[in-house]
Amino acid sequence: MARVIGGIATTHVPSIGNALEKGLQSDPYWKPFFDAFPPLRRWLDLTKPDVAIVLYNDHGLNFFLDAMPTFAVGAAAEYRNEDEGWGIPTSPPFSGDPSLSWHLIDSLMRDEFDICSCQEMLVDHAFTIPMQLLWPEHAAMPRTIPISINTVQHPIPTPSRCYRFGQAIGRAIASYPEDLRVVVIGTGGLSHQLDGTRAGFINTSFDRMCLEKIVEAPEDLASYSTIDLIREAGAQGAELIMWLAMRGALTGTVRELHTTYHVPISNTAAGVLLLENAAQPVAAVR
């Protein structure tokens, strides 16, 4: 039987890709951010997930305003990355797991989530950058299933809807008969706004509250309305719904193994979080 071994949350801003390409991990501006990831990579080395399910929001590479699904699940054998115009090098294709993808899609539909199933799917920086941060060697990456959640074209799904969506993903994984170790990754956030009169907005107190609540009381965050979330976290801070979906997929009591918070990263509050299901042996992280 498949099982969720843990969840990871991290930001995905494009400038991280440029910093990786230029080798700026030790640069004073970037070092506090990149220092968050060695403990996560050590945990991944110990737990060796077979599949990474990546919950992210597409920024126009695969979907655009004329056709923006609420929930889109990849069902391909591989996922390509193409030039987005940020100057980020294009990543090699990512391997998929079509069998688990179709199981997820069927299970989510039975749970009354209307899914856009994608037998071809391009993945953008919101997917590729977290994968590069967690697995610097492309060949070492597990199989992947990208799940895009709309945060661009309103109406976007509510925090509670996304938390329940994550719970449905967790149930689907638990019902899959193959013995697989699955890590669920939520990307985006924390607070930031890129345009309008509040451009550059960051709400540190709200971010820190989210980092605490998402571990022990995610239902509190799920009770926010979409407008509440935008007011407190900024227009793009609504990406917190991917974190909530990740948290919902963790089927048991979870244990926080690692967390960091750093401002600024390209006008974005950068949070990193590693959660492990308490039902699984807790790997030492130093």
Residues with catalytic function: 125, 192
Extended strands (E) in 11-157: 51-56, 71-74, 78-79, 94-95, 116-118, 143-149
- Calculate the CA 8 to chain-centre distance: 7
Omega of the bond leading into 190 within 30 degrees of 0 (cis): yes
Where are any strands of DSSP class E within the chain?
3-10, 51-56, 71-74, 78-79, 94-95, 116-118, 143-149, 181-187, 254-265, 268-277
Contact call for residues 75 and 100 (beta carbons, < 8 A)? no
79 and 147 Cβ atoms separated by less than 8 Å: no
CB burial readout 177-208, b (16+ within 10 A) else e: eeebbbbbbbbbbbbbbeeeeeeebbbeebbe
What residues contact 264, with CB distance under 8 A and at least 6 apart?
A: 202, 270
- 8 A C-beta contact, residue 160 and residue 223: yes
205, 164 in Cβ contact below 8 A? no
